[in-house]
Structures are given as C-alpha cells and as structure tokens.
Amino acid sequence: SKTNAALLQRRAAAVPRGVGQTHPVVAERAENATVWDVEGREYIDFAGGIAVLNTGHLHPQVVAAVQEQLTKLSHTCFQVLAYEPYIELCEEINKRLPGDFAKKTLLVTSGSEAVENAVKIARAVTGRAGVIAFTGAYHGRTLMTLGLTGKVVPYSAGMGLMPGGIFRALAPCALHGVSEDDSIASIERIFKNDAQPRDIAAIIIEPVQGEGGFYVNSPAFMKRLRALCDEHGILLIADEVQTGAGRTGTFFATEQLGVVPDLTTFAKSVGGGFPISGVGGKAELMDAIVPGGLGGTYAGSPIACAAALAVLKVFEQEKLLERSNDLGEKLKAGLREIQSRHPVIGDVRGLGSMVAIELFEGGDLHKPAAELVGKVVVRAREKGLILLSCGTYYNVIRFLMPLTIPDAQLQKGLAILAECFDELA
C-alpha cells in the first residue's frame, strides 16, 4: 500500500524543490474539515488549502452543482461561446460588491491573475503605469504580482529585479511600531522622492494583510487611503483574494471597513475548491479595456462557475456570514485561554474568522518566536491537526478552517493546540 514517504520521494524526484510544502503528508481524501492521508491517518484541517475551503472540503451542494454542470459542458472558452453560469456568477458578485453604482465583473482563474487584471484595468483607466503596494503584502507569484508582493525571500529570491513602476509604502502595523501616520507619510514620501501622483494608477491593499501576518487595517486608515486616492485620481484596489468569501464576517472585508474600493479582486473560497477568481468594480472602469483585451482560455471555467454559484447559495442557506463571526469569537476565546497560560502568545487578533496568534520569545515584541511556531506546527500535525503559519517574521499561526467545521471538531483542534503549547512553550 502507499506511504507518505514513498510518494514524497517520488515528489522530490519529479517536482522542483521551489514548490514548497508545509507538511510531509500526501492527502488522499477529505470531507468538510477532515482530511485523510494515503496511510489512512485522519487530520483536522485548520488550513483549508490556504483560505480556499470556507464551505469545507467537497461540500455536497458544490459537488452536486459540478456534477450537474458536467452533464452539460465543461469548456467552450467564454470569449468564443458564452455560457450562463459565467454571466450569473458575475451578476451575483456585482450584487455583493460594495458601492452604490453599476458594477461589472471579470472572471479569471487564480488570485494572481485577478490582481494582474486589476492592474491592467487601472492602467487603462488612468493612462498611468505606477502602482503602490505595501511592505509585507502578498499579491501572487506572476511577475507583476510578485513585484507587488512585499517579501523577497522566498518569493522572488534569485529571480532578479521585478518589473518597474512599483513603489513600496509601509503597511501600518502598531504591533511592530509602524503607525497609520507613518504609513500615510510613506506614501507622501513616494510622491516626493519617487514618482508624482499623476504617474500612479493604483494603490493596492489587502484589507486584512494575509500572508504578511493577518494584520487588520482600521476603517480610519482605509478612509485615509481612499481620500488620498480621490485627491490624486488614483484607483484603490482591494485585494480580497484571502479576505473575501465571508472569511472576515462580511462577504467582502471592505464592507465593514467603511470604504468603497474602485476595484476588488477575489479568488480562493469563492470557488469552494475549484479554480476561479476575478476582478469587479465600477462598470465604467471595468469597461476601460477594449474588446479582446481581457480574458483567457480557461478564464471563468463553467465547472468552477457552477461551483462558485453553489458556494454563494450555501452561504445563504447555512448563514455562513453569521457563522464566520461566531466561529471567530469561539476561536479567539479558545486562543485567549491558551494565551492566559502561555505569554509567548503576544497577540490574538482577527476580523471575523480571519484569526491569528503571534508568538514572541518571552513575550518581547522585538523577538519574533519563529522557531517555536515551526515546532508547534510539526507537533500539532503529529497529533492530527493541520496548521498553517505566516508572517513576515514567520512567527504567526493563522486559522483558516472551514466555516462549516462542527463546534466539537473546532474544540478538539483547539485542545490539540493547547497541548502543543503545554509541551513546547
């Protein structure tokens, strides 16, 4: 029978090492918040395939919708022959995007591709090429999005300089000594030192910084960004690839941050495990690019559109936005309980169920405890819990379990996590 070790040996021989892997486990099947490996070991999934499984692994309604779509067609290329699921999904996303104006949405396949297209649209709208992104940001692995991503090792290490026209502002992060004033001042500094506002097409921001460490931006800060954009005719792009699809308790995080972005990117959990992403926003902006200038062979695959439409229905039927907030509260309560016994946990934070803990040696905010995070992740896996870390300093554990996880399983996972801290911290 198959073993993790044997398959991972084949992986090492056949797949480049650049494709990293958090856990030395080969998955065989999964259901809601549970995964089984090829050796039959069972795991509680607190990672959700990196924020993709808000509706859980193989939600029965998502599976049924995909199966039904497979009896009709799997591909035409939307730019050759249209199909209704694409149109309907765009209508549904338009209804959910913040802003009191007509909206349009473009579908593509990955989060990176969504961000690429948002930048293309911003460039076409403004006739400008510059983009401002933030320290610690993550926007993808294609060349433009890699340039926007604010962390060199490992993402762009060894690949030479990234595309030009990208300027880096400081992400506000009170915990690490960067105030909102500092952040706004860093943008003013870019305008003074690097490029005039008239050459900047867009400012792109994750409403809650994801890979960088789950830092929540305040409504006050988002409003200052919006005002700065309005003052200079710059578009505000909200990258909701990780925050979207209800993770933060509203369908899009900007809904509760008091700003209306010009363009919003989404991906991950919108497709419930099937590859779909997109950009949506003000109709007149979305129409800036000439016919033929947007698209892609597989962009908005009918299979993935059917899955996404089912995901949206599941959100309503199972009241998953409420559940997201409820789960977030339970999660934070459980984590604070562990924190009360383990001061190494310097911070418990989050928006909705987009929750993380940040570890510091001796509770000293100047000493990120990356090594301990690594050890906790390994020990938790040995005990049957799949965790995911993140953070510029590798010292954050983030929680991205399905919103559909049963409470008992959530508590079981938290109990395992508590055990890990009791043993290691």
- Return the SS3 of 204: strand
37 is a contact residue toward ligand PMP (CB under 6 A) = no
Question: CB under 8 Å to 184, separation ≥6 — which residues?
Answer: 221, 224, 225, 228
112 is a contact residue toward ligand PMP (CB under 6 A) = yes
**Pairing of β 263-266 and β 235-239:** parallel
Q: Are 267 and 247 in contact (CB under 8 A)?
A: no
- Contact track, ligand PMP, 160-199, x by CB under 6 A: ----------------------------------------
Residue (301 or 416) nearer to ligand PMP, CB: 301
Residue 386 C-beta: closest distance to ligand PMP, Å: 17
Q: Which of 50, 310, 312, 386 binds ligand PMP (CB under 6 A)?
A: 50
- From the centroid of its chain, how far is CA 157? 22
- Count of beta carbons in the 10 Å neighbourhood of residue 83: 19
Residue (138 or 274) nearer to ligand PMP, CB: 138
Region from 110-118, 256-264, 297-305, 349-357 binding ligand PMP, contact rule CB under 6 A: 110-118
Among 399, 382, 381, smallest CA distance to 390 is for 399
- Return the SS3 of 212: coil
DSSP-assigned letter for residue 218: P
Residue 102 C-beta: closest distance to ligand PMP, Å: 26
Q: Are 349 and 216 in contact (CB under 8 A)?
A: yes
115 is a contact residue toward ligand PMP (CB under 6 A) = yes
Question: CB under 8 Å to 140, separation ≥6 — which residues?
Answer: 110, 111, 112, 113, 115, 116, 146, 148, 149
Residue 16, preceding bond cis, omega within 30 degrees? no
Residue (137 or 345) nearer to ligand PMP, CB: 137
Region from 104-112, 166-174, 297-305, 360-368 binding ligand PMP, contact rule CB under 6 A: 104-112
Q: Which of 110, 269, 325, 389 binds ligand PMP (CB under 6 A)?
A: 110
Q: Which of residues 338-377 bind ligand PMP (CB under 6 A)?
A: none
What element of type H or E holds 385? strand 385-386
Residue 139 C-beta: closest distance to ligand PMP, Å: 5
Q: Which of 48, 49, 85, 111 binds ligand PMP (CB under 6 A)?
A: 111
Question: CB under 8 Å to 56, separation ≥6 — which residues?
Answer: 31, 32, 33, 402, 403, 404, 405
Among 208, 168, 173, smallest CA distance to 353 is for 208
267 is a contact residue toward ligand PMP (CB under 6 A) = yes
Residue 338 C-beta: closest distance to ligand PMP, Å: 26
242 is a contact residue toward ligand PMP (CB under 6 A) = yes
**Residue whose C-beta lies closest to ligand PMP:** 111
Region from 111-119, 292-300, 303-311, 397-405 binding ligand PMP, contact rule CB under 6 A: 111-119
Q: Which of 57, 59, 96, 139 binds ligand PMP (CB under 6 A)?
A: 139
Round to whole Å and give the CA distance between 384 and 374.
16
Residue 138 C-beta: closest distance to ligand PMP, Å: 5
Residue (23 or 139) nearer to ligand PMP, CB: 139
Residues that bind ligand PMP (CB under 6 A): 50, 110-112, 115, 138-140, 206, 210-211, 239, 241-242, 267
